[in-house]
Structure 1
């Protein structure tokens, strides 16, 4: 037989990239009986999921939480044996540091876009609140095939909404520019609602109503005791238990079609594969596809990335006053160095329980187009963080320990037209003579569940393609 399900156990799939998307693909493939070899260029699995410690306290040095109302992240954690370690935030009350004060992050918004003018009273100036209320005087809203969310919201509700709220919220996800980010790609629910309404405020209220119906579904976000960064190793252990071969410090240097399959060249050997999943950053996938799919490589190479740094600080609790809530966001318009701060010891009970008299928090710095700010050395980034923390919440103490984690090219940007680009890339790679799929943060979402879902989609599509006939099976010599 030549059907995919019957031949799957004999199929060898090489997964290139050991971030959470690649691990999710490998997990799905091994569960279906495929023989999997996962190759990761660096010495560590997980990509932007990275568990570490500071002053003996376990912390996340990368992503720290995942959207719980999408099933893929919590589902994979449970499948990897971490279900009993899933935890919602102990405190989830955020603020916005703007106009020289900490102001409560308002309820009743969709990625910073309010459903009423009153929702942003106190955060915006009186003039800004008044501008929201005048949307009814405008012609009907038109979003077309796609639109930059910042441009659209500013035109409907005024720039102050974008600058003081939409921008810092989107910046926490993409480290990007709201005036360039695609509304269709970044906030698809709001985009679709906006196509059905003449007023943006009405579209927001539709999305809010749907969200209210899900409130009984549990927490919005979820973390893991010990850190989200423990998820990759747990998934890798499950892959290995199912027979998968995972190799770190093994960069892939070349990829070439071979009969009905592929030859995957590393710095040590060349592997024969029936199918390949590329779960690498867009620029890395572009380099590997330059010869075999120039059109896909060109589109992949055009994906822009933002760089950022996380500064993790540990203080003696006795040296600090009471810090409110789980942290705060910082609008770029205010000209501060940091773009956000998370009070980890408040937010996560597992950090607090392991802190032994210490208080851990972290700041983030860097946005798209501002990468030069990260050229500063670690001590300067720590000093900039402490300066802003002093002005925002009155911290004057010196930390007992600090750690700077740089994510160079860590966050792909989703400008207007992003989804059209993704569709072109997928069409091109699907048309290749041998089975190959791409997945990861550069496509359908940068969040953990979105990356997991994309890895699983890539695996499912590979499993649904016919296995090469034996006469053209790579490496058989037949």
Structure 2
């Protein structure tokens, strides 16, 4: 009898799970993906802006992690991997532009000297003296980033160095993200007995190889998504799943149109806010844990501006907390990736945990704020050639203190034949999503083969 697998959710996690399953179970198995969106890919979405591909969701992956380069190689796409041009971002702080501090770990500085010009002199003195202060660190603990950095270096460092980084990654802040999620290597150094935060950050600094930290895909993430769909030979059912219930040793998956689909195993590749209500009856422990994961919403305004617009040779601008800008970050995409066209592409990102900008601001408001912020930051007037607005509602999970325990609880509460994948589990970036999806595929394939 041919095995049947259902995957609920057609984002990158669901598509990687489908591809991995196909590799594990062979060509005869049935793999069905349920997703009601107008296209597969979730928060990976490539649009044409002024005739050029531009990712309006996640745009990059960390090259040091092996998952995406290895996946691209498997799919025959290794030659499509792009590196950045090497230009660095700027930091908007105190109503002016600064060079982003060097030798930091997700914004946490490794020296007082790197923060000169960004914080007050008494803060610099505090940072310089930090290695001599007694450190209280509970091995295995997971306080918020703000709790540790604020205590050791001061709140100006949190607002002006750390928050800009975490706003870009999580649409959150140092107060909403735990140390083990944001800076696991720093937490590990502290666990090993680093005597100060300064020493822990220095121990966690990656080697300076000169190689790009971030990668992208020539043609945008749609190139990867298309290859995953094709090579997994999945069947896409463009509906929402209303219920998953036991059916003997397998599962009955009912969609919102009333159709029933029999599955030997199911992978739930959904955002946490959708996973929790779906699992309330059959996996209440998992549902309760997932409900503890809060989320943020964000919006991206993609602009094509005329070639020759006087933009700096930088990859973008991160914005410190408390600045009088609407955007939390500006990406100069053409400068960052070296793409040449008749127009230059840039993106402005809006929305942080706890605000309603992405949900409630109109497209006209977002565009007006984008043009105003460009005028404020770069002192230029921009007349866009083309504009795209993309909203990602409740798409950014907040990896709060103790998040690893939440993830363990989600997985432990699932009955056999169900597995979970998604960006709220082991990391918000694409590499972590690939890893979680690979794990889920292996779990359900192993279950069915018993």
TM-score, normalised with respect to structure 2: 0.95
Alpha-carbon distance in structure 1 between the residues aligned to 2:176 and 2:396 = 14
Given that 1:64 and 1:229 are in contact with CA atoms closer than 8 Å, whether structure 2 keeps it comes out as no
Question: Residue 167 of structure 2: which of 154, 171, 174 is its match?
Answer: 171
1:198 is matched with 195
Q: Deviations over 1:297-356 (max 9, x none)?
A: 1221222110010011111124x224231111001222421100011111123xx33x22
Question: Residue 181 of structure 2: which of 174, 181, 185 is its match?
Answer: 185
- What is the SS of the residue equivalent to 1:334? coil
Alpha-carbon distance in structure 1 between the residues aligned to 2:297 and 2:246 = 34
Alpha-carbon distance in structure 2 between the residues aligned to 1:143 and 1:212 = 27
Alpha-carbon distance in structure 2 between the residues aligned to 1:229 and 1:130 = 49
- In the alignment, does 2:238 pair up with 1:249? yes
- What is the SS of the residue equivalent to 1:328? strand
- In the alignment, does 2:151 pair up with 1:162? no
- The 5 A counterparts of 1:77-116 are 77-116=72-111
Given that 1:50 and 1:230 are in contact with CA atoms closer than 8 Å, whether structure 2 keeps it comes out as no
Given that 2:253 and 2:260 are in contact with CA atoms closer than 8 Å, whether structure 1 keeps it comes out as yes
Question: Residue 363 of structure 1: which of 348, 367, 387 is its match?
Answer: 348
Given that 2:358 and 2:391 are in contact with CA atoms closer than 8 Å, whether structure 1 keeps it comes out as no
Question: Residue 442 of structure 1: which of 391, 401, 424 is its match?
Answer: 424
- The 5 A counterparts of 1:154-303 are 154-195=150-191, 196-208=193-205, 211-212=206-207, 215=209, 218-240=211-233, 245-266=234-255, 267=257, 269-303=259-293
Distance 1:369 1:239, change over 3 A: same
TM-score, normalised with respect to structure 1: 0.89
Report the alpha carbon displacement of residue 246 of structure 1 after superposing the two structures with TM. 2.4
Question: Residue 4 of structure 2: which of 12, 16, 40 is its match?
Answer: 12
Question: Residue 390 of structure 1: which of 375, 394, 413 is its match?
Answer: 375
Given that 2:106 and 2:182 are in contact with CA atoms closer than 8 Å, whether structure 1 keeps it comes out as no
- The 5 A counterparts of 1:269-418 are 269-318=259-308, 320-349=309-338, 352-353=339-340, 355-356=341-342, 358-372=343-357, 374-418=359-403
Given that 1:43 and 1:248 are in contact with CA atoms closer than 8 Å, whether structure 2 keeps it comes out as no
Alpha-carbon distance in structure 1 between the residues aligned to 2:18 and 2:440 = 10
Report the alpha carbon displacement of residue 173 of structure 1 after superposing the two structures with TM. 0.5
Report the alpha carbon displacement of residue 248 of structure 1 after superposing the two structures with TM. 4.4
Question: Residue 63 of structure 1: which of 46, 58, 65 is its match?
Answer: 58
Alpha-carbon distance in structure 1 between the residues aligned to 2:216 and 2:391 = 21
Q: Deviations over 1:210-267 (max 9, x none)?
A: x117x37x43211111112432122111111xxxx32142211110011111011112
Report the alpha carbon displacement of residue 143 of structure 1 after superposing the two structures with TM. 4.1
Question: Residue 426 of structure 1: which of 411, 417, 433 is its match?
Answer: 411
Report the alpha carbon displacement of residue 138 of structure 1 after superposing the two structures with TM. 2.2
Report the alpha carbon displacement of residue 85 of structure 1 after superposing the two structures with TM. 1.1
Given that 2:374 and 2:382 are in contact with CA atoms closer than 8 Å, whether structure 1 keeps it comes out as no
Given that 2:245 and 2:252 are in contact with CA atoms closer than 8 Å, whether structure 1 keeps it comes out as yes
Q: Deviations over 1:42-85 (max 9, x none)?
A: 12111111010122222111111111111111211222222111
Distance 1:187 1:132, change over 3 A: same
Given that 2:298 and 2:358 are in contact with CA atoms closer than 8 Å, whether structure 1 keeps it comes out as no
1:6 is matched with none
Alpha-carbon distance in structure 2 between the residues aligned to 1:248 and 1:54 = 29
Q: Deviations over 1:169-227 (max 9, x none)?
A: 0111000121121111222111111222120101111112xx117x37x4321111111
1:4 is matched with none
Report the alpha carbon displacement of residue 374 of structure 1 after superposing the two structures with TM. 4.2
The structure whose residues are more often helix, as a share, is 1
2:15 is matched with 23
Distance 1:417 1:322, change over 3 A: closer
Alpha-carbon distance in structure 1 between the residues aligned to 2:87 and 2:406 = 36
Report the alpha carbon displacement of residue 271 of structure 1 after superposing the two structures with TM. 1.1
Q: Report the count of equivalent residues.
A: 444
Distance 1:322 1:308, change over 3 A: closer
Alpha-carbon distance in structure 1 between the residues aligned to 2:142 and 2:36 = 36
Given that 2:358 and 2:392 are in contact with CA atoms closer than 8 Å, whether structure 1 keeps it comes out as no
Alpha-carbon distance in structure 2 between the residues aligned to 1:366 and 1:143 = 33
Alpha-carbon distance in structure 1 between the residues aligned to 2:201 and 2:16 = 33
Q: Report the RMSD for the aligned CA atoms in angstroms.
A: 1.7
Given that 2:68 and 2:434 are in contact with CA atoms closer than 8 Å, whether structure 1 keeps it comes out as yes
Alpha-carbon distance in structure 2 between the residues aligned to 1:134 and 1:387 = 41
Question: Residue 32 of structure 1: which of 17, 24, 32 is its match?
Answer: 24
- What is the SS of the residue equivalent to 2:413? helix
Given that 1:44 and 1:248 are in contact with CA atoms closer than 8 Å, whether structure 2 keeps it comes out as no
Q: Deviations over 1:401-460 (max 9, x none)?
A: 21111111110111112111111111111xx1x410111101110000000100001111
